[in-house]
Copies of this chain bind each other. A is one copy, B any other.
């Protein structure tokens, strides 16, 4: 059975610590949103920006391997003009 008799103070401190951290997280999420808005206002494409940021989480070798495998699949499906006939 889960704990139902406990030092109320313990629960209160846990709840308040989580709430403080969630508040901090919310502030940072807001800051991120602001930077994207600033980028957009400066003519950057935020969708491409997000892709760049997610690509930067991978090292160059990983990016290249994924890129080349993607090309193999796209070519097999005839989605790369001139890269061979579509899968029968």
Residues on A close to B: CB < 8 A?
Answer: 2-4, 6-12, 14-15, 17-19, 21-22, 24-25, 28-29, 31-32, 35-36, 38-39, 42-45, 47-49, 51-53, 55-56, 60, 63, 66, 69-70, 72-74, 76-77, 79, 81, 86-88
Contacts and interface: CB of A to CB of B under 8 A. Distances in A.
Given A18-B53, A72-B4, A44 B79 contact: no
B28 A14 contact: no
Copies of this protein, total: 4
Given A6-B43, A14-B35, A28-B28, A56 B69 contact: no
Given A25-B29, A28-B21, A36-B18, A73 B49 contact: yes
19 contacts: A2-B45, A8-B87, A11-B77, A11-B87, A12-B77, A14-B35, A15-B53, A18-B35, A21-B31, A21-B32, A22-B53, A24-B28, A25-B32, A47-B66, A48-B69, A48-B73, A51-B66, A52-B74, A63-B79
